[in-house]
Amino acid sequence: MSDIEIKRGLKDVYFATSEASFIDGNIGKLLYRGYNIDDMARNSTFEETVYLLLFGKLPTAKELLDFDAQLRANRTLPREVLQVIEIVQASHPMDVLRTGCSALGCLEPESATRDQHQVADRLLAAFPSMLLYWYQFHAGGKRIETETDDPSMAAHFLHLLSGKPADEMRIRALDASFILYAEHEFNASTFAARITASTLADFYSAITSGIGTLRGPLHGGANEEAMALIERFQTPDEAEAGLMDMLARKQLVMGFGHRVYKNYDPRARIIKQVADQVFEVTGKDPMLNIALELERIALEDDYFVKRRLYPNVDFYSGIMYEAMGFKPEMFTVLFAIPRTAGWLAQWQEMLTDPEQKIARPRQVWIGHDTRPFVPIEQRGTGVVTR
């Protein structure tokens, strides 16, 4: 066996430089271009955060006004994209987003007259329209008008979801979750988008790579899975017994652990505070007691403490989304849509990095050594079952 060390999951492998975000996993710190995630979640809007990630600075009032207007102007969808979305019947919303991204890429490809910034704004603004057009068409056969004059993406999303303008509490809560999910260094889906960009493939291909990668339950799909975990238990005692049984069976507890955070994920702390504000209006969700019990166990039980496994952002986001009226299958797209900003920012860095090269790692070969070819008539009559 080769003495080459394989870095499984590329753990602790440094692939490129970036200025978009910084994580100190030991102390649970996250900065967006130097600004603390707590400050961003408390004081800014998602559109301000996107501007910061894409342009490297917080916008002036005029810049933000223009940027908001640019995004609002991109909410309608071509008829052909709507027809594609109508065809994709009982898909998962993440598959709808992936399909809509590809369809839009066929109709509005990057070109001499449509540069990356325009495509970036287009996708950011069009994703909520794609998703909610599909949702309303397949839930109730309605063909909704996706263009609204809602001032923000969160307000637009909630308006299309319910068919009427949303209240300030829900808009603020969704906007805060979009800020928290916007960017996170070289996580698997951002890395996938960068790998695609490293071949100089087009922008839609890079974003489609990101969407497909985020879909997995170990990554963006975890918020939907964490909700399913919490819903399994009726009482805190049941939760404790169930969790111990899961660990005994070596099952993963969704919503816990992180490759980089070996301390509390700062986003989990913030989303929990935002969830408490939601519960003040919607009423305390009985599942919150189950979640708090699971968290208590994780913070005390030796299995978690020894491995430094803390609740991550996906553990609490699901309970909040559920209290706001979202169905669990919508949770991951509520992660993917804001993460498009991070994919965009990192994609742009990839293209402008003079040191960047096409991604092409190596393998450790464990197959056959050289062997002579065998003509088919000499291969016998056996059938290998797959």
The conformational region for residue 308 under phi > 0 = left, psi -120 to 50 = alpha, else beta, is left
CB 81 within 8 A of CB 127: no
Catalytic residue flag (residue 184): no
Nearer of residues 137 and 303 to ligand SDX, judged by Cβ: 303
Q: By C-beta, is 128 or 210 nearer to ligand SDX?
A: 210
Q: Which is nearer to ligand SDX, 81 or 176 (CB)?
A: 176
Choose between 138 and 262: whose C-beta lies nearer to ligand SDX: 262
Give every CB contact of residue 158 below 8 A, 6+ residues apart in sequence.
165, 166, 170, 171, 174
Category of 148 on φ-ψ map: left (φ > 0), alpha (ψ -120 to 50) or beta? beta
Dihedral of CA 241/245/251/257: which sign?
positive
Cβ nearer to ligand SDX, comparing 51 with 331: 331
DSSP states of 22-72: EEETTTTEEEETTEEHHHHHHH--HHHHHHHHHHSSPPPHHHHHHHHHHHH
Shortest distance, position 349 Cβ to ligand SDX, whole Å? 16
Give the residue with the Cβ less far from ligand SDX, 75 or 184. Answer: 184
What residues pair up with 24 in beta bridges, in sequence order?
Answer: 29
Alpha carbon distance 259, 330 (integer Å): 25
Beta carbon nearer to ligand SDX, 55 or 303? 303
| Nearest distance, CB of residue 250 and ligand SDX, angstroms | 7
Contact status, residue 328 vs residue 224, Cβ threshold 8 Å: yes
Least gap, CB of 339 to ligand SDX (angstroms): 7
Three-class DSSP category at 76: coil
Instruction: Tell me which residues touch ligand SDX (CB under 6 A).
Output: 9, 184, 187, 218-219, 222, 252-260, 307, 309, 312, 314
**What minimum distance in Å lies between the beta carbon of 107 and ligand SDX?**
29
Burial 160-193, CB ≥16 within 10 A → b, else e = bbeeeebeeebbbbbbbbbbbbbbbbbbbbbbbb
Instruction: Check residue 4 and report its DSSP letter.
Output: P
Rounded-to-integer distance, Cα 181 and Cα 314, Å: 10
Instruction: Choose, from 38, 219, 285, 301, the residue flagged as catalytic.
Output: 219
8 Å CB contact between 271 and 328: no
Tokens representing residue 367 in the block: 């197959």
Q: How far is the CB of 258 from ligand SDX (least distance, A)?
A: 5
Residue 12 CB, shortest distance to ligand SDX, in Å, is 10
* Least distance between ligand SDX and beta carbon 222 (Å): 3
Only one residue has tokens 């917080």, namely 58
In eight-state DSSP terms, residue 247 is: H
Task: Report the nearest approach of ligand SDX to the CB of residue 61 (Å).
Answer: 30
Considering the candidates 121, 175, 258, 265, report the single residue annotated as catalytic.
258
Q: What are the residue ranges of helices labelled H in the chain?
A: 37-43, 46-55, 61-72, 79-87, 93-107, 116-140, 153-162, 168-181, 188-198, 203-214, 222-231, 236-248, 266-282, 286-300, 302-307, 313-323, 333-352
Q: By C-beta, is 128 or 255 nearer to ligand SDX?
A: 255
Q: Which residue is at the shortest CB distance from ligand SDX?
A: 257
258 classed as catalytic:
yes
Question: Which residues participate in catalysis according to the annotation?
Answer: 219, 258, 314
